[in-house]
Structure 1
Amino acid sequence: MSTDETEAVDAFERLGLTSYEAKVFIALHRLGSGTARDVARITDVPRSQVYSVAESLEERGLLEVQQSNPIRYRPVSVEEARETLEKRFEHERERAFDYVDRVSEESVGEETQEDIWTVRGRDRVDDRVVDLLSSAEDRIVFGTRLPALVTDEIEATLRNRATAGVSVLAVSRTGAVRERLESLEGVECELPPDHHGDDQRSGRIVIVDDDGILLSVVDDDGGETAIWSSGSRFASVLIQLIRASTQTPA
C-alpha cells in the first residue's frame, strides 16, 4: 500500500472500521464494483475473508450486494459513506457520554485521595482559573506579576463576581496589572509582601472562599503549569498557611 492509502486505512480505523473493512471499501471504490476475487487480487485481504467483511460493510450501509454468480459488491458513494459514518460516530459519541453522565450522577460521592490536580498549558490554566473564580460566593484573592496572565475572560469574571457582591482582592507588584484591575468596580488592589519581590517563576495565585486554590509557575519555555484543589482539606490548610505567611486579610 502507498503511504496515502495506509493513512486512509488508519483514518477509517479511527472512525470505527476494521483494517480489513477499510481496505475492502477502498478497493471497491478503486474497482467501481467487483467480486471477492477481484477485491482479494488488489488487497492483502484473503478471499475467504472478503465475504464476511463485505457482509459487515453492508450492515454498516457502506456497500450494496448484487445477488449474482459470483456475488458482486458495489460501494455506496463517497458522500453517502461520509454521511453514514458521521451519523454513526455521532450516535456512538452520544451513547458513550450519556453513559459517563449517568455514572457521574450515580457516584456515591466518597472522598478520594486525589485532592490535588495538575494543569499544564496556558489555555488550560486560563480555563481553570475562570472556573474557580466563577464558583466564588464570598471572597476572591487573585494575584499575578504578568499582565499577559490577566485575560479578558478573567477580567470579566472578576468584574462579574464583584458585581454579585463577592469580595475581590487583586495582588500584584506590577503597575500595569494593578492599574487594569483597579479600574474594575468593586475590586481592591494591594502590593504583595516585600520578600516576594525577586520571584521570577511565579505565575498566578487564586484563592476562592476558604476551600479553593490555584498556584502556577512559568516554565522555562514560557508555558505555565498549575496545581489546584477545591473543597479539600489540602486546599483549606494551604490557604491558611499562605494567609499566615503573607498576612493576607481574612
Structure 2
Amino acid sequence: MTVDENEAVEAFERLGLTSYEAKVFIALHRLGTGTARDVARIADVPRSQVYSVAESLEDRGLLELQQSSPIRYRPVSLEEAQKTLQERFECERDRAFEYVDDVRQESTVEETQEDIWTVRGRDRVDDRVVDLLSGAEDRIVFGTRLPQLVTERIERTLEERATDDVTVTAVSRAARVRNRLGALEGVTIDSPPVYRESDQRSGRIVIADDDSILLSVVGDDGTETAIWSSGSLFASVLVQLIEAGEEVTDE
C-alpha cells in the first residue's frame, strides 16, 4: 500500500473501524463492486477474513451485499459513509460524556482545585504564557534573559494588551530582549534586581494582574519547565512575595 493509503487506514481506525474493515472498504471503492476474491487480490486482507469483515461493514451500514454465487459486495457512497460514521461518533461521544457527567454528579467526594500546575516543553510553555497574557485585565509583567523565549506570538500579545489599556512591563538585562520588547508600542522596559545577574537557569516570568503567575527554568539540555497558577491564593501570595523582594532589593 502507498503511504497515503496507510494514513487513510489509520484515520479510519481512529473513527472506530478495524484495520481490515478500513482496507476492505477502501478496496471496494477501488473496485466499485467485487467478490471476496477480488477484494483479497488488491487489499492486504486474507480472503478467509474478507467474509466476516464484510459482514461487519454491512452491520455498520457501510456496504451492501448481493446474494449471488459468489457473493458480491458494493460499498455505500462516500456521502452516506461519512454521515453514518459521523452519527456513530456523535452517539458514542454523547454516551461517554453522559456517563462521566453522571459519575461526577453522583460523587460525594469533596472537589479540590489544584493551585499549582506544571507544564513541560517549549511549545506548551509558549501556549500557557500567551494564555495568561491574554487574560490580563489590569497589568502584565513579562521577563526573560533569553531572546529565544520571546516569540512573535508573545510580542504580538504584549502589544495587543498594551493597546487595550493594560499596563505592560518587560523585564530583562539582555540587550537583545530589551531592544525587541522596547520597540513594542505601549510596553515599558525595566531591569531585574541586581541579585539575578548570575542567574543561568531562569527561563521566563509572567505576572498577570495580581493573581496569575508563571515561572520557568531551562535545563542544561535546553528544555523548559514551568509552574503556573491563576486565580488562586497561591498565585496572589507568590506575586506579593516576588514584588516585595524586589522592593527590598531596590532599597
TM-score by length of 1: 0.74
Gaps of 5+ in 1: none
Give the distance between the partners of 1:186 and 1:24, measured in 2 at CA: 61
Q: Which shows bigger deviation, 193-202 or 217-226?
A: 217-226
Give the distance between the partners of 1:228 and 1:22, measured in 2 at CA: 43
Counterpart AA for 2:201: R
CA contact (8 A) 2:15 2:89 kept: no
Alignment partner, residue 89 of structure 2:
92
- Quote the offset at 1:190 in angstroms: 1.4
Give the distance between the partners of 1:43 and 1:98, measured in 2 at CA: 32
Q: Return closer, same or farther for 1:233/1:202 CA change in 2, 3 Å cut-off.
A: same
- 1:120 paired with 2:117, answer no
Percent identity over the alignment is: 65
Correspondence list, 1:132-171, <5 A: 132-171=132-171
Counterpart AA for 1:232: S
- 1:169-206: CA deviation from partner (whole Å, max 9, x where unpaired): 11101112112222333322211111111111111000
Gaps of 5+ in 2: none
- Quote the offset at 1:224 in angstroms: 1.8
Alignment partner, residue 51 of structure 2:
50
- 1:196-248: CA deviation from partner (whole Å, max 9, x where unpaired): 11111111000011110111112333232211110112211211221122228
Q: Return closer, same or farther for 1:87/1:147 CA change in 2, 3 Å cut-off.
A: farther
SS in 2 for 1:132: helix
Residues paired across the two proteins, number: 238
SS in 1 for 2:236: helix
CA contact (8 A) 2:214 2:228 kept: yes
Give the distance between the partners of 1:227 and 1:73, measured in 2 at CA: 57
Alignment partner, residue 235 of structure 1:
235
TM-score by length of 2: 0.74
Correspondence list, 1:1-250, <5 A: 12-19=12-19, 21-22=21-22, 24-25=24-25, 33-34=34-35, 43=45, 50-51=51-52, 53-69=53-69, 71-75=71-75, 80-81=77-78, 84-85=81-82, 88=85, 92=89, 96=93, 112-247=112-247
SS in 1 for 2:127: helix
